[in-house]
Every structure is written in structure tokens, then in C-alpha cells.
Structure 1
Amino acid sequence: MSSPASTPDHTDVVRRLRAVGCVFAEDEAELLSTAARSPAELLAMVERRVSGLPLEHVLGWVDFCGLRVAVDPGVFVPRRRTELLVRRAAALARPGATVLDLACGCGALGLAVAASVGDIALYAVDIEPAAVRCARRNLGTLGGRVYAGDLYRPLPLRLRGRIDVLVANVPYVPSEAVGLLPPEARLHEPLVALDGGPDGLDVLRRVASGAPDWLAPGGHLLVETSLEQAEVAAVVFDRAGLVPTVVSDEELSATVVIGRH
């Protein structure tokens, strides 16, 4: 690499990124070069990326639903497929609606729904302290309130029966499959955001069972799953007293289960 005193060579940055398996090395090099405030910072950022840190953690943000969302190291990075969940949630919400982003991570889902719908009362919860700090930065300008704790437990009781749209991108990877995830995920994102238990649906079951207590009449719960899990998840919703619908998007490789209260 070039010395810190000179501008790092773009071609060399691309080469280094390609050497460690970055499929979109050209695009990544451009993003890193744009984000760096000095040649020395660019060198440091390239080193972090080459060491295996997710690009979004190196940059400090992720492009999600056309929004630049802050995401810190150790916080789950929202995937593009989750845009299907956001689109469906936004279609069900109305200005003035009460929206809850459960297991919110960096708060990207709630932020994107708010950007699409407009004026909503936004609440979010996560169990990971790093995620809570990140979500508070992302949602603070919207007046969103972010709580630290396990699912519904930290929510104020005044929200019972008043939530119009509940989005919950909970972990749904079966425990035995976590080790098969790309290193960027399994080494740099919290296990609690990935591991969904033996069949991947343990947390989803907890969310569905508690949802009727918190949803307003006619309110909706939306959860992302794999296509293979959707049928079982729909049964879980039905047993919890929710009317389930499964929607998929082949282009995004995304599946969402929607439950109406």
C-alpha cells in the first residue's frame, strides 16, 4: 500500500478487497474512498475491511430503503430482503399510527416505516445495549422512544392494546445452521440477533403469543421468516389468535408472515 502521507492507489485498494473475497470490490473501494477524510483514515478502513469487518460497520452506516442508517460494530446489519417487511408495514400504517419495532437492532425498520408513512408514534425495543444506543441515535430525531430489555417486558403498560403495527425482525436461523453463516455475520453480529433456536422460530413464538395483548383491534404483526418456515409460522400466528397471511418476494428472496388481530 502507499504510505499514509500519499493518497492510496484505488487499484491497489480494489485488489486487496478482491483478494479477501469481496464480490463488489470496486463499489466498496469507492464507498471507502468517499467516506475517508484522509489517506491515513482510508488505509485504516481498508485494513478493517480486509480483516473481515462488515463494510457497514467500517463505514458506520447502511443503505436501507434508500435511507442512510447508522450501524455500529457489534450491531446487526439490516438486510435488503427486509425491505419487503417495511413495505408491507408501511402499507398498513396510517399517519398518527402507533408503531412498535420489536428486536429493533439499529432501528432501521421503524425509521423506514416512519419515512414512508409520515407522522407516527414510534417505539422500539432491543435487548442488546449496543443496539439500543444505535437505535436511539437513529430514531431520536423522530421522537422515537427506544427501550432496553427482552421483547415486550420494558414497554410502558399504557401501550397495551394500542399498537397499530408491530414489526419484529427477530432471529430465525436454526441453531445448528448458525455456524454455516458467512463469517461477517457469525463473527461480527450478536448471536442473539441470529440464533432462533432449534427450528429458528423460538423468538417468533414468543412475539406472536404476546402480540394480542399489545395490538389494537385490527392491528397487525409482521415478522420475517424463510420461505420454508412460513407455513409453521402461520400456524403459530393462528394459535396465538392472529389471522395469518404469508407474502413473498422472489426478487428479494424475502418472506413475511402478517398476522391481523
Structure 2
Amino acid sequence: MPFSPVSPTPSSRSSVVAALRAAGCVFAEDEAELILGAARTPDELAALVDRRVAGLPLELVLGWAEFRGLRVTVEPGVFVPRRRTEFLVEQALAQAPDARVVVDLCCGSGAVGAALADALGAVELHAADIDPAAVRCARRNLAGPGGRVYEGDLFAALPTGLRGRVDILAANVPYVPTGEVGLLPAEARDHEPLTALDGGTDGLDLARRVAVGAPHWLAPGGCVLIETSERQAPAAVEAFTRAGLTTRLAVSEELYAQVVIGVRGGDTAV
């Protein structure tokens, strides 16, 4: 018989909050509630608190992250989906509300693909990542909507039968400049794979590769979307435009998110 989550006593809750506060957790009360809800025994509660106090990201302590209302499984060594990336999903749905073929490139946990499939309904869903740990995790998260997940480097991982058929190509590429990776918060720097963070000298190496390759994979009117920083956005827009895509930049002040959207015209060669 499975255990139920630990029923917190006032003293256990206060001790968890105190431990998290002492470790510098800004939202100690909220985190305590989540950890108490995840623990099935007092020993497991102690272990979860110890992991969080040691600096493990909360999502890896819990084993899941919330993303657009979904509980997405996350595992050690896999990029944790960020709330700001929900804006990329929103922009994709606004651009292609009737999409039938969706690709989640650089998929990490598969959160973007899962959210798109959840919103769109029955879609042909494909995802790919270069990291074997991410591929294993994404396969768990995308099994429900019937997603197929491939291991490999960007478009080389995809089946050639997708060329010219993709309605939404969401590519949450890494975009931290190599020289700035060491400045990231310890939770990211110490616990997430470098391949999911390092975007090259100016952070746009993979973004440029996606821009060049996307027109060959998109259906007429299909869209490709990447996330970038405010500083990098002009160069990212230029790369998309040079690739022959009709390009615009969408900005969310609330989420501090910048999403570059490129649309393939009907006459782009594939």
C-alpha cells in the first residue's frame, strides 16, 4: 500500500520553514508546503529538506516542475523548465492555433512539447535533444500525448519525413554566452547540463543554426520560435530574417521573456 504524504504538525512545518530560511530560500513557506506534500515518511521528509538545504533546485528535490498547469517530471542532470518559457508556448499557440505537427527541439524534459500537445489536442508530436538524460526524461513526459523523442544534434535527430511538414517548431536553445555561464545562479550552474546553458561566444550559436535549418522543415505558414535575452534579441531577429523568415519579436515584461518568431512563406524552398 503506498504511503500518504506526511501530515505536518505545526512543529514539523515550522522546523522545515526555519531550515529553508536559514539556507537562503526566499519562498521558504511555499517550498515547505510542497516538500511536506511530497514526503511520504518522516525520514523521507528529512532527506528532502537536506537536499534542498544543500542547494539542489526545488524541482529536482520534488521530482517535478509545474509548467502551464502541468506537472512535468524532471530528473537530475536535466534542464528545469522556466516559467518564462510559458510565454514561448503562448506565442506558438497564438501563431498556429490549428497546428497538427509539432516539434520540440532542444526539448530538455519535454515541457514545451507537453504543453503544446495539451493545448492543441491530438497532434503529431516529435521532440529531440542531444543529451541522453534529457531524452529519457522527455520520453516519460511525452508518452501520454504519444510523442516520439529522438537523440541527436538539432535537425539531424529528426526523421526526414518531417521536412516541409512542421507547423510549430519550438526550439528552446541555450543562449547564455560561454563567458557568462560561470555567473549563473548556483542552482543552474551546478545542477543543470552545460549543453542546456552554453550558447557559444555570444550565446547565439544554436539560434543561428536553427534559423538556417528551420525553413527546410516548416510547412508553408509554419512557425519557428526561440527564446533569447533582451540584449541578444536584435541579432537573433536579424538571423531569422536572413534565413528568409518573416520575423517578429514578442516581449513579456511580466515574465521578462523575449521570443523571436519566424514564419515560413509559401514560396520558401525546401
> Normalising to structure 2: TM-score of the pair?
0.92
> Whole-Å Cα distance in 2 between the matches of residues 130 and 90 of structure 1?
28
- Counterpart residue number, 1:219: 222
In structure 2, the gaps of 5 or more residues are 1-7, 265-270
Distance 1:23 1:73 in 2: 22
**In the alignment, which residue of structure 1 is the partner of 2:3?**
none
CA distance in 2, matches of 1:175, 1:234: 21
Q: Which residue of 2 aligns with 1:104?
A: 107
CA distance in 2, matches of 1:162, 1:97: 9
Give 1:52 deviation, angstroms: 0.8
CA contact (8 A) 2:65 2:73 kept: yes
Which one of 231, 234, 239 corresponds to residue 234 of structure 2? Answer: 231
Does 2:197 match 1:190?
A: no
Once residues 94 and 179 of structure 1 are traced to their aligned partners in structure 2, the CA distance between those partners, rounded to angstroms, is 39
Is the CA contact (8 Å cut-off) linking 2:77 and 2:192 kept in structure 1? yes
Cα pair 1:95 1:118 within 8 Å, conserved: no
1:13 pairs with one of 3, 13, 16: 16
Cα distance in structure 2, aligned partners of 1:249 and 1:142: 28
Post-superposition offset of 1:115: 1.0
Give the alignment partner of residue 67 of structure 1, picking from 65, 70, 75: 70
* Separation of aligned partners in 2, 1:260 and 1:94: 14
Structure 1 residues without counterparts, runs of 5 or longer: 1-5
Matched ranges for 1:92-241 at <5 A = 92-95=95-98, 97-241=100-244
Corresponding residue SS for 1:244: strand
The one-letter code of the counterpart of 2:112 is: L
Give the letter for the 1:140 counterpart. A
Kept after mapping to 2: 8 A contact 1:246/1:257: yes
Q: Deviations over 1:147-204 (max 9, x none)?
A: 0111111211111111011001100111111111100000000000001111110010
Across the aligned residues of Structure 1 and Structure 2, the Cα RMSD in angstroms comes to: 1.3
Structure 1-normalised TM-score?
0.96
Select 1:251's aligned residue among 241, 245, 254. Answer: 254
1:94 is displaced (CA, Å) by 3.9
Offset from partner CA, 1:47-96 (integer Å, 9 cap, x none): 11111110000100001111111011110001111111000112233446
Aligned length: 256
Could you tell me whether the CA contact under 8 Å between 2:227 and 2:260 is conserved in 1?
yes
Q: Match of 2:57?
A: 54
